[in-house]
Amino acid sequence: MDQKTPFLSPPAAARTFGFFIDGQWKEGADHFERASPGHGLPVTRTVRCTVDDLDAAVASARRAFEDRRWAGLSGAARAGVLLRAAEILRRRRDEIAYWETLENGKPISQARGEIDHCIACFEVGAGAARMLHGDSFNSLGDDLFGMVLREPIGVVGLITPWNFPFLILCERVPFILASGCTMVVKPSEVTSATTLLLAEVLAEAGLPAGVYNVVTGSGRVIGQALSEHADVDMLSFTGSTAVGRSCVHAAADSNFKKLGLELGGKNPIIVFADSDLEDAADGAAFGISFNTGQCCVSSSRLIVERSVAAEFEKLLAEKMAKIRVGDPLDETTQVGAITTEAQNATILDYIAKGKAAGATLLAGGEALDMGRGQYIAPTLFSGVSRDMAIARDEIFGPVLCSMHFDTVEEAIQLANDTVYGLAASVWTKNIDKALTVSRRVRAGRFWVNTIMAGGPEMPLGGFKQSGWGREAGMYGVEEYTQVKSVHVEIGKRRHWIA
């Protein structure tokens, strides 16, 4: 790394990471070398762990849970660790963003903003740890008192994806910890570095050994074994709906573990003629291009009122043409590299399908040659029909398809015409339309005249095939608890046997 410009040039050599079990760093015999998708240079080497390594991690998390070294602490004590972690993240912000950018390909400015969000997650999690509570029932008569207790569910397996390796991790970890659970984390094989760096952060913050364990390797081996593990009480998985379905089968075939699933999305952005079209165009361009469209909540289906469709699509195409695509370590870059070669090929294939199906290309539609790395121009198709593959499938790239409507009812029908229900947005200055659409479109997150806004105080999750459960905020802590009813009899028992 150039010492004059730290964190703004690739490292001179790949950094080797171990894995983390019971508060100790472990070494492995086999490693996966990751090349930066933005530069084509090796940047990290992480261990291909074995199932035996995973078993050791689960055993460590189980010991830490059963001896109550974490669950037995007060909410205030757990909050203290989470707040110290937030301060360490603030100190190491640029460093963590750097490794996130190198492995993922996202712009360094975006990565820094994501770390800021992660800091907020730990701060909100700290408050939630102190506020978590049950309930009481003083309505059972003079002879009986009822209590409802919330208890941590136990050992949590956490499988995270490559598109937001640190952000998605931090939208879960502080809330899992706030509940009193212990965990084993399996990050994506291609973006493991920042999950391992969080182990350093949590250890420095005072988290007891065994509470946070990280096992690296492939989803096919380690991810599958974690989802099937009989000593894991709950699995949180973020990724594709197809893999989420396999997690359901694995849970059913092992120990009926509880599942939290955040899966795919084909998210609508509905633009009415009475909206601020300039604002809506900027929002649509951002919504499909942020993180190169590799985002579960990307607004990939534009549903625009027919009377302004031509005008709006022209504004949007002009916006998208101005987006700065380039080196992720360049401070001015807005859209970086596609994270994996396989995803790059998938996106280009869908662009070809859109052209072949007769959709009209208004912007982008091609790979960009930057001399190294893999880049795709933000792409806009018009004249898209609901039966086209680009309109139905989650592309997971910067490809937006535009469809037109005439009535509010038609807009709602188009928005709901998908197996997914993760996120949606509506743009209008009419409060009646905004409320009607937001109440009737089936999505777990909804934005009105904005997009991808909000903080970790609010719950995250989807409807339909976009997943089960909620993450973040108070809901996200409660998700990792189970409810126990306690009945206390007062006074002498009325005997059944005379």
Q: Residue 272 is part of a domain; what is its CATH number?
A: 3.40.309.10
Same domain, 258 and 289: no
143 lies in some domain: yes
Same domain, 390 and 470: no
CATH code of the domain covering residue 186: 3.40.605.10
7 lies in some domain: no
State the total domains in the chain: 2
Same domain, 249 and 299: no
Identity at 258, one-letter amino acid code: K
Same domain, 231 and 293: no
pLDDT computed for residue 8 by the predictor: 82
Q: What is the pTM of this model?
A: 0.96
Same domain, 47 and 143: yes
Low-confidence ranges of the chain (pLDDT < 50): 1-4
Same domain, 238 and 323: no
- The residues that bridge with 158 in the sheet, in sequence order, are 185, 236
- Neighbouring C-alpha atoms within 13 Å toward the C-beta of 497: 0
Distance CA 178, CA 71 (A): 9
The 10s digit of each residue's pLDDT in 159-203 is 999 999 999 999 999 999 999 999 999 999 999 999 999 999 999
Q: Which residues contact 495 (CB under 8 A, 6 or more apart)?
A: none
Q: How far is CA 151 from the centre of its chain?
A: 25
Same domain, 207 and 302: no
3 lies in some domain: no
pLDDT computed for residue 4 by the predictor: 42
246 lies in some domain: yes
pLDDT computed for residue 401 by the predictor: 98
144 lies in some domain: yes
Same domain, 205 and 306: no
Please name which of 56, 453, 437 lies closest in space to residue 222, comparing C-alpha atoms. 56
494 lies in some domain: no
Q: Please write down the HEC assignment for all residues of the chain.
A: CCCCCCCCCCCCCCEECCEEECCEEECCCCEEEEECCCCCCEEEEEECCCHHHHHHHHHHHHHHHHCCCCCCCCHHHHHHHHHHHHHHHHHCHHHHHHHHHHHHCCCHHHHHHHHHHHHHHHHHHHHHHHHCCCEEECCCCCCEEEEEEEEECCEEEEECCCCCHHHHHHCCHHHHHHHCCEEEEECCCCCCHHHHHHHHHHHHHCCCCCCEEECCCCHHHHHHHHHHCCCCCEEEEECCHHHHHHHHHHHHHCCCCEEEEECCCCCEEEECCCCCHHHHHHHHHHHHHHHHHCCCCCCCEEEEEHHHHHHHHHHHHHHHHCCCECCCCCCCCCECCCCCHHHHHHHHHHHHHHHHCCCEEEECCCEECCCCCCEECCEEEECCCCCCHHHHCCCCCCEEEEEEECCHHHHHHHHHCCCEECEEEEECCCHHHHHHHHHHCCCCEEEECCCCCCCCCCCECCEECCEECCECHHHHHHCCEEEEEEEEECCCCCCCCC
Q: Residue written as tokens 């499938």?
A: 393
Same domain, 276 and 400: yes
Domain containing 349 equals: 268-448
pLDDT computed for residue 283 by the predictor: 98
Q: How far is CA 210 from CA 79, 183, 473, in A?
A: 18, 8, 24
Same domain, 61 and 209: yes
pLDDT computed for residue 3 by the predictor: 41
93 lies in some domain: yes
Catalytic positions? 262, 296
pLDDT computed for residue 111 by the predictor: 98
Same domain, 292 and 406: yes
460 lies in some domain: no
Same domain, 114 and 150: yes
